[in-house]
Amino acid sequence: MAKHERGLRFQPAGGTRAPQVPTGKKQKLTIERLANDGRGIAFHEGKTWFVAGSLAGEEVEARVLGAHGKVVEARTERVLQPSTMRRPAACAHFGRCGGCSVQHVPHAEQLALKQRMLAEQLQRVASVEPEEWAEPLSGPELAYRRRARIAVRWDAKAKRLDVGFRAASSQDIVAIEQCPVLVQALQPLMTQLPEMLRSFAKPQVLGHVELFSGSAIAVLVRHTAPLNDGDLTTLKTFCQKHDAQLWLHGEDGPQPVEPDQTLGYRLEPWDLQLAYRPGDFIQVNAAVNSAMIEQALQWLAPKADERVLDLFCGLGNFALPLAKTAREVVAVEGVATMVERAASNASDNGLGNVAFYQADLSQPLSDASWAAQGFSAVLLDPPRDGAFEVVRKLKALGAQRLLYVSCNPATLARDTVELIHQGYRLKRAGILDMFPQTAHVEAMALFEASQ
């Protein structure tokens, strides 16, 4: 038997591992360029730094948020040499709050950044560019957000209720009483909400709060245990003062305190009213949403004798305006409750030429009964993971025109590869500036079948 060696040390095959940059360290950097997500890129001691709140050409002092391998994530603490492009942020909480990460970038450059991101994804993944680039579709860069989720957390050690938005790259809550991107109707609620919630006898039961602005103003309170009578009275008084509906979200899901109250939003160009409930997906930017629908109808150009398919239809945001033009609209959604809500919206608006169906849109559609007759045109508005299984079978439906509304350029580019393989060509594309002051990109792409 071999004799045991003692005190033997083994060297890893890969050699000595380079030490990681510690979280919290401050480092002076020169920013070389901007990444697609709006962060500055710098290079230092063999590592690539992604620095939030910086611009190309700037010298900054950055604080490390985290590091892995040769990548360091950081945020700007001080700007030592600013870019001539830098502008003052509209919000006093910029750099600490986790939202609105590119406020320091002029709006025109924000649009250009998003355009580059879309173009680079299409070129890199699909090796294609559209035959025509559309002008960016945008609206007001502030006071646009008609829905907001407010973080609420009881700090038992400090005996303090924190109310605000999540901090950048952290679970901390930044105390906020004003938010420049909220629509004006929600500003008074945002300003007075923290003080009201901190007056609760039992703030420990609070989960989060959501604010809504549409055909009515509403406040939704998520609670993990029943509210006591005094705290409920405080909430009701607050909502009465602001002429707002009160919704409570306990074990049974969101429910209005007054059973006959409803939420909704209007699509004025088409004289439509769409009802929704808290938890339903709606576009937070009313102006860009309306412009997006108008552009979608212009690009898709449904004719009065055509049958049109709307996939991932939600509440009917596209389907109902389409039904004002096309002979027949078939609208499909994966969530059964949304199908019911959309069908009710169609009925309430007197539209009898649109039918709604529930289907698993992560699977091919070829066996669906509603697909048997085929379609002249298709509109799809999938979630961030795209619609790969759906687009694989779209050509079999006979659609000559396909309009793809995307909230993720990466999955749009991936699905474009499949559409081109099926014989479609990318006719037109452009960005939708649904979230100004952020690097989030939404896009619209029109595909036409090759002759």
Report, as residue numbers or ranges, the catalytic residues. Answer: 407
Distance of CA 21 to the CA centre of its chain: 32
Q: 3-state class of 380 per DSSP?
A: strand
How far is the C-alpha of 404 from the C-alpha of 381, rounded, in Å?
A: 6
| Token code pair at residue 327 | 């002979």
| Token code pair at residue 200 | 């609760």
Residues making up the chain, counted from first to last = 451
Kindly provide the b/e burial profile for residues 270-294, where b requires at least 16 CB atoms within 10 angstroms of the residue's own CB: bebbbbbbbebebbbbbebbbbbbe
Task: Say which residues have a Cβ less than 8 Å from residue 13's Cβ, sequence separation at least 6.
Answer: none
How far is the C-alpha of 435 from the C-alpha of 234, rounded, in Å?
A: 33
CB 155 within 8 A of CB 161: yes
CB-based contacts of 424-428 (< 8 A; 24+ apart in sequence):
424/395, 424/448, 424/449, 424/450, 425/131, 425/449, 425/450, 426/122, 426/126, 426/128, 426/129, 426/130, 426/131, 427/130, 427/131, 427/132, 428/130, 428/131, 428/132, 428/133, 428/134, 428/299
| Token code pair at residue 31 | 């920013």
SS (H, E, C) 104-165: CCCHHHHHHHHHHHHHHHHHHHHCCCCCEECCCECCCCCCCECEEEEEEEEECCCCEEEEEE
Q: Which amino acid is residue 192, in one-letter code? A: Q
Of 282, 322, 315, nearest to 298 by C-alpha is 322
